[in-house]
Amino acid sequence: MLILKKTFNYLIVNKPSGIICDTKRNNNIIQLIIEDLKKDLPFVSSSQFRIVQRLDKYVTGGLIIARNGKFAKKLNIDKDLVLKKYVGLIGYQNELKSKVKMVDNFGIIENDVVAYNERSKLMQNYNAKTHFKLLPHMKTKSLGKNVIPIIIQIETGRKNQIRDHIYQNFTTTLLNDDKFPLFKTITSNDNSINLNSEIFKSNQIGLHCGYLKMGNDEYTFPLIDDDQELWSNYITEDGQLMEEIKHELIKFEV
């Protein structure tokens, strides 16, 4: 279930792990969409689509893909048109501690995010803001770690922001993202450096864009077949997020 909705202006898609949101590289989301659409639209072309939102390669879930330049520009100008919320899985060994003060398991992380600037070829600081709610009552175990789900909404869209803020604030990574601290030290796009886990078939990490709203339309996104193993404690047999997770995503407000 890659494409959830098709309109004249946009597609709502459910991105699998391992797919890149960059048309300059192979195995990207537009190529996957074209492959899917050609069953009914044999003359469809990649030039008809614009990537206006991005998810990291091994992050899964909801995305909007513009079908024309006019709508892409509209989305880029009005950032409030689309609301996205994420569910993450934090893996830790002994005790999970937040550096920021939490009230009823809610918190706000406002640390700068350091990222590589392609233009200047230098590392640069970017301001960033992430809202979250921990769900400690849903604690489980996976990969030899304790696991707690976390609901997330970001105000800024910095590269790797959620993964970076989780590591900064909790001094641990999202589940199956153990190499993220090393990844942050790499200042090039050297694809020969493997910084991702290979435990699971799709190498997914514990971060999923599970909720998207545009106008009056709301969507929740299941885990696609190959991405379900890591999330097995928090999904139903058909890959849908547990009702409690969906409820927390929908009601979470900043």
Q: Cα-flanking dihedrals φ and ψ of residue 207, to 5°?
A: -150, 125
Instruction: Take residue 61 and report the two structure tokens written for it.
Output: 């879930």
Q: Choose, from 22, 36, 56, 164, the residue flagged as catalytic.
A: 56
- The amino acid occupying position 74 is K
Q: Cα-flanking dihedrals φ and ψ of residue 173, to 5°?
A: -105, 170
Q: How many CB atoms lie within 10 A of CB 141?
A: 10
d(CA 131, CA 147): 19
Provide the β-strand partners of residue 28: 20
Return the CA Rg of the chain: 18
Burial (CB < 10 A; 0-12, 13-18, 19+), residue 19, is buried
Q: How many CB atoms lie within 10 A of CB 140?
A: 13
Q: Which helix (H) or strand (E) holds 201?
A: none
- Which of 152, 173, 149 lies closest to 241, judged by CA? 149
Phi-psi region of 75 (alpha: psi -120 to 50; beta: other; left: phi over 0): alpha
Catalytic residue status for 177: no
User: What residues act catalytically?
Assistant: 56
